[in-house]
């Protein structure tokens, strides 16, 4: 996947503590601003075609069922036919084999249908164990400044996406510790099955109404947080962020001069000198935001 060179985290003024403490929050699903975030959007485990394929189970399953049933036979029944003969008779008789399959299918359908709500609960429980760092590939969207940066009075942190902090997946199938682009789509669960969904559907898909955020995200396990705070019955999971992963700070267009100077002074210390300081500027002519 091709990454943008830079990604941005819009934050409120008080989040200057990210720079001071080198700790940044990865947010659990229950605390995200989208109440539908990480909700498994499906109403069945399998599509009809996938369910039919699944129910065309191999003969080994039928053989195992026959062996279990044979144990319940009376001595007289067992004397009339051996288990091997019973299995051979069923295997060599397509009509009997199909009848058995058809008799089993309704109970399998019921079992699969009844398990769907439980499967959703299991996904939701699993998703409560992960935290998300949400970043944006755009730095000049007025709504992002308004919603996440104290109404343009806060700042944005510019990250270098080439930094190893964002590339720590432990295998090709690892869903954690790496950047992934959020895709935007209609997330209705109607007519959708779990078998139709992939990892991106479950972990990195949001409704189209959120597309303006142009989000990228990184997911980590909450139990690996470096610090956990409790504020008003909500847990805040904090993770160490290397200063070398931060390439710039952009001050909001409405930030006051004292806040600007506080940031500027902080960046003058040795460990922060690689971080550039810029300012968002309102362009009334085009009703847009420029960064200088």
Mean pLDDT of 154-179: 96
Question: Domain ranges in the chain?
Answer: 6-40+130-291, 48-125
What SS3 state is found at 259? helix
| 240 confidence band (pLDDT: 50, 70, 90) | very high
In the chain, the largest separation of any two C-alpha atoms, in whole Å, equals 97
Q: d(Cα 250, Cα 241) in Å, to the nearest integer? A: 18
Q: d(Cα 292, Cα 281) in Å, to the nearest integer? A: 7
Question: Is-contact 162 23, C-beta < 8 A?
Answer: no
Q: Which residues contact 87 (CB under 8 A, 6 or more apart)?
A: 63, 66, 67
Q: What is the CA radius of gyration of the chain?
A: 28
Q: d(Cα 217, Cα 34) in Å, to the nearest integer? A: 14
Closest by CA to 161, choosing from 280, 69, 99, 246, is 246
Q: d(Cα 222, Cα 226) in Å, to the nearest integer? A: 9
Mean pLDDT of 100-118: 75
Mean pLDDT of 250-267: 95
Q: d(Cα 221, Cα 251) in Å, to the nearest integer? A: 31
Lowest mean pLDDT among 48-62, 125-139, 227-241: 48-62
Treating both helix axes as pointing N-terminal to C-terminal, what angle do 59-70 and 83-91 enclose, rounded to 10 degrees? 150
Q: d(Cα 263, Cα 256) in Å, to the nearest integer? A: 11
Percent of the chain whose predicted confidence (pLDDT) is above 90: 56
Among 41-45, 54-58, 257-261, top mean pLDDT goes to 257-261
Mean pLDDT of 26-31: 94
| pLDDT of res. 215 | 98
| pLDDT of res. 13 | 97
Q: d(Cα 148, Cα 145) in Å, to the nearest integer? A: 6
Question: Is-contact 123 29, C-beta < 8 A?
Answer: no
Q: Which two tokens stand for residue 10?
A: 């819009």
DSSP 77-109: HHHH--HHHHHHHHHT-HHHHHHHHHHHHHHHH
């Amino acid at each position: 996947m091709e990454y943008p060179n830079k990604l941005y985290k819009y934050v409120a003024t008080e989040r200057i503590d990210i720079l001071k403490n080198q700790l940044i929050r990865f947010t659990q699903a229950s605390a995200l601003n989208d109440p539908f975030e990480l909700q498994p959007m499906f109403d069945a485990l399998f599509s009809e075609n996938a369910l039919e394929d699944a129910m065309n189970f191999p003969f080994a399953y039928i053989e195992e069922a026959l062996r279990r049933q044979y144990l319940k036979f009376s001595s007289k029944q067992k004397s009339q036919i051996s288990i091997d003969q019973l299995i051979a008779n069923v295997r060599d008789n397509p009509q009997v084999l199909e009848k058995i399959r058809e008799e089993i299918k309704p109970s399998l359908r019921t079992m699969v249908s009844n398990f769907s709500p439980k499967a959703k609960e299991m996904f939701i429980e699993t998703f409560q164990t992960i935290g998300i760092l949400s970043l944006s590939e755009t730095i000049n969207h007025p709504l992002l400044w308004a919603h996440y940066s104290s109404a343009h009075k806060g700042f944005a942190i510019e990250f270098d996406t080439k930094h190893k902090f964002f590339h720590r997946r432990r295998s090709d199938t690892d869903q954690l510790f790496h950047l992934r682009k959020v895709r935007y789509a209609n997330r209705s669960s109607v007519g959708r099955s779990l078998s139709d969904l992939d990892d991106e559907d479950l972990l990195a898909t949001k409704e189209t109404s959120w597309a303006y955020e142009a989000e990228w995200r990184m997911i980590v396990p909450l139990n690996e947080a470096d610090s956990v705070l409790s504020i008003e019955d909500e847990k805040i999971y904090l993770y160490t962020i290397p200063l070398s992963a931060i390439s710039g700070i952009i001050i909001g267009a409405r930030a006051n001069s004292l806040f600007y100077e506080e940031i500027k002074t902080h960046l003058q210390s040795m460990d922060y000198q690689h971080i550039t300081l810029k300012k968002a500027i309102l362009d009334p002519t085009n009703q847009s935001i420029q960064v200088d």
